[in-house]
Structure 1
């Protein structure tokens, strides 16, 4: 039986050979497809990539769509950039990087790199990381003038040098993201690097503390503002940045909920408001009288992220907790204690703002409600 147009398909990929952009065409052998391939502009087989290659020009790309239309389905998911712009972020300008003084011999990011960060409205923190990581990479190959001459092998060699320097997996992953951003987003050649491997992701379990420890931290905190910060992080499962972004209007005492606006991934969600905490929040409001943000610094702007870390550390010390406690540990503890109390995993997922239950399922590995029913073999008669 002959394959139909639905069964026939080709996949387009970006390939760079000797600084020349090529279109890679992948397909299963078929007489009809073979015949059409031969009508393209100087097709040639690449043993290295296992693909048919033709020059990447607008005309050649148009020829592919015209000649294979109705004959085969064309898979372009590896070829076109279709990631959405980060609409939730405020306007980004990286002028401070453009206009900074540059030392002699130092290689700066290309202007197109800055422009793409601004156009796609990446967060300022991400922009800083990408610029720093990419500039380190291009200065490693300072003598190579044309960045298109840097291929997969050069990238792999550079990543290997980072490993030998003892850089963390996180650092290496950020470097890969910055390099891929330039070649795949700025130059619009998505998924071009097929052999660049990331470090294996370490599956570490979240660190939590007991509910009793959290209650001691709150009870022994003499400052009402600090007490509210600790209680909110724990009782609502907030990330530190989400806490700092809270506005007075986000507290809904009638529905006993907290609105989290533009959390991680630019998603809104609703979390729980504790009745016990509400009384403290009202007392705090009467004393501190915040204007815009729920927690404000001396200048009236957002409260300092560093201050939150210090508040948690001091509270843990007062509560005589031996391990180092961070704001995110209170979020992990919130999820774990809800799970141990029998709360459905899907509700916990929604409260935390996780896109998938797979992320939330990690808490099932540290919840001890099931373990408490297992008798230790040392205690068996």
Structure 2
């Protein structure tokens, strides 16, 4: 097994990309290393680029007797690759030990507040970035420093609106943790563009499933579509959450800490029973090789390979299956209020977006040109 390490940038932070030929054992091993994260942008694991981390991961891979290719690193490892849209790259220092400890306390505080894992990791990352910036400027946290950080590392390099909102939320959460009040922060949250969701047709869903030969993989992808689940909800499902008598699936502590019921398809139940007899999961419906939760990155890779084989060129994610479920329900005549309940939306306005992508709704509108 060859592990390839290469310097790169992720959200203006120097990182070490970790690439390898896909292997479940290797993926799980890397994912368990402290400080390693998954990047959707790079489609790879990464760790902050520092001499300590470089030695740590090299040693971790050598313990497994895997070959480590680090030829991509220049002799002087402190050089930073060029990034578009940024005139000057500011190299941020490694956090001092006291700040690192404080950051870890902040992470535990968020976990105790029962924030979702994704939210905790995101706020932790953006706050670390901000604290390194404060350390570089040798300044205490203030309104001016936050506004300067926002300009230098978000506005100036033209980061996405989503990332800007994440940074603002992360910094404000850190201020809440520190019981600090910074007045009159001139950081208006920009509105995200309202883009319509990408949707697969029923035939395209069928073709995707036909190109998944592994029973476990097919069952997971079929579940997400047939029940309209978020990937986190699907992976946290327990065997006891499947109610075949009432033909429903019990989703517990979903987004917003809410429980709900969604549909259990009779056709999917046949597939699920075949899967259960073969794999016999004990606690979670889908478990990793060493037990515990199956990973979302593995599920995304399954879908990515299947859509490629099915020759579908749309930009597809696991959430596309949920969008498709809702749209197909609407096209089949299901009341929008029932769809809202099945999806677990707090507001009907969120569900109404599917009226804009439903082909049936569009086809039923009479074009005024036909009256001419």
TM range (shorter): 0.5 to 0.7
Distance 1:270 1:228 in 2: 19
Distance 2:308 2:139 in 1: 54
Which of 184, 190, 210 is equivalent to 1:219?
210
Which of 99, 102, 106 is equivalent to 2:95?
106
Counterparts of residues 38-53 of structure 1 (less than 5 Å): none
Residue of structure 2 equivalent to 1:272: 263
Distance 2:265 2:184 in 1: 49
User: Structure 1's 163 and 141: CA in aligned 2 closer, same or farther, altered over 3 A?
Assistant: same
2:284 aligned with 1:293: yes
CA contact (8 A) 1:116 1:186 kept: no
Deviations 1:232-274 (A, max 9, x none): 1111000111111111111111100011111112211110000
Structure 1 regions of 5+ residues with no counterpart?
1-95
CA shift, 1:345, in A, is 1.1
Distance 2:93 2:358 in 1: 56
Which of 170, 187, 210 is equivalent to 1:178?
170
Which of 154, 158, 166 is equivalent to 2:145?
154
2:126 aligned with 1:139: no
CA shift, 1:218, in A, is 2.1
| TM-score, normalising length: structure 2 | 0.68
CA contact (8 A) 2:233 2:254 kept: yes
CA shift, 1:105, in A, is 6.5
Deviations 1:325-352 (A, max 9, x none): 2210000000011111121111111111
User: Structure 1's 139 and 317: CA in aligned 2 closer, same or farther, altered over 3 A?
Assistant: closer
CA contact (8 A) 2:139 2:145 kept: no
User: Structure 1's 188 and 156: CA in aligned 2 closer, same or farther, altered over 3 A?
Assistant: closer
The alignment partner of 2:297 has SS state of helix
CA contact (8 A) 2:252 2:258 kept: yes
CA shift, 1:118, in A, is 4.8
Which of 110, 125, 145 is equivalent to 2:118?
125
2:238 aligned with 1:247: yes
Distance 1:226 1:135 in 2: 36
Distance 2:304 2:369 in 1: 36
Counterparts of residues 199-238 of structure 1 (less than 5 Å): 199-238=190-229
Deviations 1:22-46 (A, max 9, x none): xxxxxxxxxxxxxxxxxxxxxxxxx
2:359 aligned with 1:368: yes
Structure 2 regions of 5+ residues with no counterpart?
1-33, 36-49, 54-91
Distance 1:165 1:221 in 2: 40
Distance 2:204 2:289 in 1: 30
Residue of structure 2 equivalent to 1:325: 316
CA shift, 1:115, in A, is 6.0
The alignment partner of 1:200 has SS state of coil
Deviations 1:128-156 (A, max 9, x none): 32232123223323244543xx11x3322
| TM-score, normalising length: structure 1 | 0.66
Residue of structure 2 equivalent to 1:14: none
CA shift, 1:305, in A, is 1.3
Distance 1:299 1:128 in 2: 23
Residue of structure 2 equivalent to 1:187: 179
- Root-mean-square deviation (CA, aligned residues, Å) is 2.8
Larger radius of gyration: 1
Residue of structure 2 equivalent to 1:305: 296
Distance 1:344 1:212 in 2: 23
Aligned length: 280
CA contact (8 A) 1:184 1:192 kept: no
Distance 1:115 1:218 in 2: 40
User: Structure 1's 377 and 315: CA in aligned 2 closer, same or farther, altered over 3 A?
Assistant: farther
Higher mean C-alpha deviation, range 180-189 or range 262-271 = 180-189
